Amino acid sequence: PSSPAADGVVRLVGGDGPWEGRVEVFHRGDWGTVCDDRWSQQHADVVCRQLGYRGRAEVLLGGAFGQGVGPILLDDVHCQGSEASLLDCPHGIWGRTDCSHSEDVAVRCRGP
């Protein structure tokens, strides 16, 4: 059976539209969240760029769009801000984190 998404695909969940929400990433058959440790403007820019938005991104911390369920897949992500996708950024080991879902990161994207 074909998988609903490819590894590394990101989506935004829980917002008022597809341009905002909790960041979730697909890995090995599961959607999971991203911890806000070291999360910054550069990371939000990369997520929004990956989703096709070109305007300035906004970082929303502290479970702004509700807490996710399932695994927390990414932590300690280090983006420079110019990467094409989140997986182009160095990050910790998949699924290994000291975070809770109250630290699920969210973004708001702007621009077409």
Distance of alpha carbon 90 from alpha carbon 98, whole angstroms: 18
Question: Does residue 15 belong to any structural domain of this protein?
Answer: yes
pLDDT at 32: 96
Under the banding of pLDDT at 50, 70 and 90, the label for residue 51 is very high
5 vs 75, higher pLDDT = 75
pLDDT higher than 80, residue 63 = no
User: Per residue in 94-112, pLDDT tens?
Assistant: 999 999 999 999 999 998 7
* Length of the chain counted residue by residue: 112
> Which residue, 88, 19, 23, is CA-closest to 56?
19
Name the token pair of 108.
Answer: 């708001």
3, part of any domain: no
CA distance 20 to 106: 7
CATH number at residue 54: 3.10.250.10
Taken in order 46, 51, 57, 60, the sign of the CA dihedral is negative
The 8-class DSSP code of residue 104 comes to B
Residue 2 covered by a domain:
no
Q: The whole model's pTM is what?
A: 0.91
Number of domains in the chain: 1
Average pLDDT, the chain: 91
Structural domain including 28 reads 9-108
